Each structure stands twice: as C-alpha cells, then as structure tokens.
Amino acid sequence: MSQVNSKLERQVESILLKHKLKVSERTLKRFLNFLESIIDELTPELIEIFVLDNLTIGESYFFRDRKVFDFLKKVMQYKVEWNILSVGCSRGEEVYSLSIIARESGRNCKITGIDISPQRIEEARRGCYKFWSVRFLSEDELERFFIKNDDKFCIKSDYKANVTFVSGNFLTVPFSESFDIIFARRVLLYAENEELVVRKIYSLLKNDGVLVLGSGEYFPTVLKDFEPINECPCVYKKVSRKSSKFSDEKHVKDKRPKTSFISTQEVKYLKEAIAKNLENELALEPTIRIVEHCLENKILSEAENYLAILVRKYPTHYLVWKYLGVLELEKGNYEAAEKHLKKAAFLNHSDDEIWQLLHFIKGRK
C-alpha cells in the first residue's frame, strides 16, 4: 500500500469509528483507490462527506418490496394515529412511500426519517427524484403522487405535510417519543455493533410495535426480542423480554433470506411486456422482477427459463448471477449456488445480500 493510501486509510477508518460504521475489506480498498485518484482535491471535510455518501445506505426507490407496504396498509386499519421512524432513510423514498400509503388509507401518520448523511437529508427534504427512484411506479401513481419538473419527479406537498427529516447517527440522536413502526432496512449490515442498534430499536418501539427489515436480511440478534410475522417475514413484532422464546441464542431459527416481492398485478403487466419482446430485446429490469416473483412463489422452472435467456444476453451483469445462485439454493444445490454467487460478488462486491447468501451457504457446509 502506498504512503498516500495508508494515510487515507487511517482517515477513513477514523471516520468509520466516529460514526460506528463498518464496511467490508474489499469495499474499503476499492473506495481508497477512488479517493487516491482525486487526492489533490480532498480536504478532511470532503473525505467525511465521501465516506458517508459512499459507504453507507444510499440506493433506494419508491415502494421497494411492495408487499411490505401492502401488508402495512392492512395493519394501519387497526387504528387512526401512527408514529413511524425510518432509520437510514437515504434520500427519502421510503419515508414518502409510507406517507403515501398512510394518506391513501385515511390514517394520520407522523413520519420521521433519519440518515447519517447531511447531503442525502437535504435531498430528502427537497423530495425531487430522477426516474430511477420511481421506476416501478405506474403512470397513474406518478401522476397522483408527483409533479413533473424537467427530468425530476417531485413529491406533492400533501405527502410532505406529516414528514420530518433528521441528519445524524441513530445511536447518538435522542428521541423523546416512542414509535409504532420502525423501518431499519439494510441498517444492521453497516452497524459496527448490531446489538446496540437492536437494543435502541427495542427501547423506542411501543409494546405492540413492529420492526421492518430488508428482504433477505437475517440477524440472530433481532430474533432474541422480535418474532417474524408469517404473512410478511420482513416484518417483526416486538415481544416481551420476559416471555420471549428468543431470549436464548439456541432458540433462534435459521431462516434463509427471501427474495423481494411484487404484486400479482405487476407480474401480469411485466409478463405482457416481456411477451412482446424477442429474446434479443429482452429487458433486464422487468425480467428480473418476474424472476424474483417466480423464486418467491417456488415457480422454479419458469425462473430457470428466464434466467437462461438473461445469462446469454447479460453475461456480465451481477443480478443475473445473483438470482442464478438463489435459484440453485431453492433447488438445494449449494455448490452451484456458491459458484454463481461468487461470480455475482466479483461483478458487484458492494451488494450485501450476495455476501449474506454466501455466508448462509458457508454455514451449511
């Protein structure tokens, strides 16, 4: 390692320690190489901004894992007033998605989003997004929830009225109220001490509160004090510490990560769109959504057919190899699954779900 890179590494590690964050060795190495290429332009303040923007949760989109939001719409029918916290809210897509379903359900919701990056919080407050963030919404939804401003989709003011954004570290920011629902999707993946995060989430949730994790996330620490809800396994209900059957590590169930969800209506729409295309015109994104649906519903032969086409058209795209790995996991072929997932990790080593799946396979060997 060069002297410059060594100095940068110490600076970056100091920032990670300051904010109680962790990253993989590979991610850190790649990030340091990027910083070294622009070393002449860097100041300590800029380095910290780069760390928070590039080594923490960033990518999101509206109604990510839509089945989770569909489930919460049902849950919201049980009372009128809701207090919700979104941890690691990034640029606000998750927060505004919650605001939309609350308003559509006729419920009063106070929603707070917190993120460690001041830049992302500023973007969240503006509430204007490029097409990538709204890419899974229908034309009707885009018209109902957004105002088009040049190439941006800006959330309508009605959905901002009940929303607050806070910049800071979840572990150190004090909260003076408790919450009915806490979203913490992909948060524990970056936490230096996941137990501290889970402990604070537990303390902030009301007794009948629920925790929402990301699709495919599995943390035994969570299962000590939370119980997954069968109808929507990403959602966990808080259980009493005295009565919790998860208080002992040996009772924690080994659950394999699940793929994400899409609605039946979206499946029908995507299949119709795909059917109009020839094989050499097959679009990656809608086809991947169909593959996710097939895997979730154990329609393995159909998933295999789509993936066979995708691997010929997109042989260097990590998502293709990732879902080939998930397919082999569903079939119980751990060796083949590991081979595919290692290719996916090589093509995109920053996808934490790939590493979780590889860790799961390692534990089964």
pLDDT tens across 131-143, in order?
A: 878 878 989 999 9
How many domains does the chain contain in total? 3
d(CA 238, CA 132): 34
SS3 content of the chain, % helix, strand, coil (to 5): 50, 15, 35
For residue 183, being part of any structural domain is answered with yes
Residue 294 is predicted with a pLDDT of: 85
Residue 280 is predicted with a pLDDT of: 41
d(CA 186, CA 352): 8
d(CA 86, CA 150): 29
Same-domain check for residues 83 and 164:
yes
Distance between alpha carbon 249 and the CA centroid of its chain, in Å?
26
Same-domain check for residues 164 and 35:
no
For residue 120, being part of any structural domain is answered with yes
Low-confidence stretches of the chain (pLDDT < 70) are 1-5, 19-22, 24, 26-27, 30, 34, 37-38, 40-41, 49-50, 52-59, 216, 241-283, 349-352, 365
- Residue found under tokens 């604070």: 200
Same-domain check for residues 135 and 90:
yes
pLDDT tens digits, one per residue of 50-66: 676 555 555 578 998 88
Residue 260 is predicted with a pLDDT of: 43
Could you give phi then psi for residue 165, rounded to 5 degrees? Answer: -120, 140
Question: Of 251, 275, 303, which one is at a domain's C-terminal end?
Answer: 251
Q: DSSP code of 240?
A: -
Same-domain check for residues 9 and 153:
no
Tokens representing residue 320 in the block: 């293709």
Residue 161 is predicted with a pLDDT of: 93
Same-domain check for residues 354 and 279:
yes
Residue 20 is predicted with a pLDDT of: 65
Domain containing residue 296: 264-364
Same-domain check for residues 72 and 45:
no
Residue 41 is predicted with a pLDDT of: 64
Give me the chain's average pLDDT, please: 81
